[in-house]
Amino acid sequence: MKYMLLMQFSAAGTDFPPIDTWTPEEIRAHIGFMGEVNAKLTADGEWVQGEGLGGPQQARIVRAGEGGVPVVTEGPFAETKEFLAGWWIVDCETPQRAVEIAAYISAAPGPGGRPLSMPIEVHPVMSAPPQEL
């Protein structure tokens, strides 16, 4: 079964500074860890896809306006307390394995090498509508 793992960043629930204040070594360690995660998932046959995402200042919110014309709200979003930092799609034998992978990713190193303990959402990827529909 495939699962989408969503790495959320929440300024409200963290005890570490924003990544733009980290030292270059701390950023390299964090990115290196993510590369190791992806390599391990690939070696284990669980990797499907994944990417890091730009911050909220680069994001856009799009809604359909009158006649379907796109209405775009540009960042930065000063009120943003949470944003999606990255995602993975993994193919695992059990839901428990997806949770184990999410916990491992959550421990990515931050300032001083301390685990960030960032929340990782785990969502099953639906291949078809539920049978009851």
CATH of the domain at 113: 3.30.70.1060
Distance between start and end Cα atoms, the chain:
20
Structural domain of 91: 2-124
Q: Give every residue of the chain whose pLDDT is below 70, as ranges.
A: 10-13, 75-81, 133
**Looking at the domain assignment, is residue 131 inside a domain?**
no
Instruction: Specify if 112 maps to a domain.
Output: yes
Give the length of the chain.
Answer: 133
Whole-model pTM?
0.83
pLDDT of residue 13: 66
Neighbouring-strand partners of residue 87: 6, 51
The answer to whether position 133 is within a domain reads no
The answer to whether residue 21 sits within a structural domain is yes
**In the chain, how many domains are there?**
1
128 Cβ neighbours under 8 A, 6+ residues apart: none
For the chain, what percent of residues have pLDDT higher than 90? 60
Structure tokens at 7: 């790495």
Q: Residue 17: is the preceding peptide bond cis (ω within 30°)? A: no
Residue 53 and residue 87 in contact, taking contact as beta carbons nearer than 8 Å: yes
pLDDT over 70, % of the chain:
89
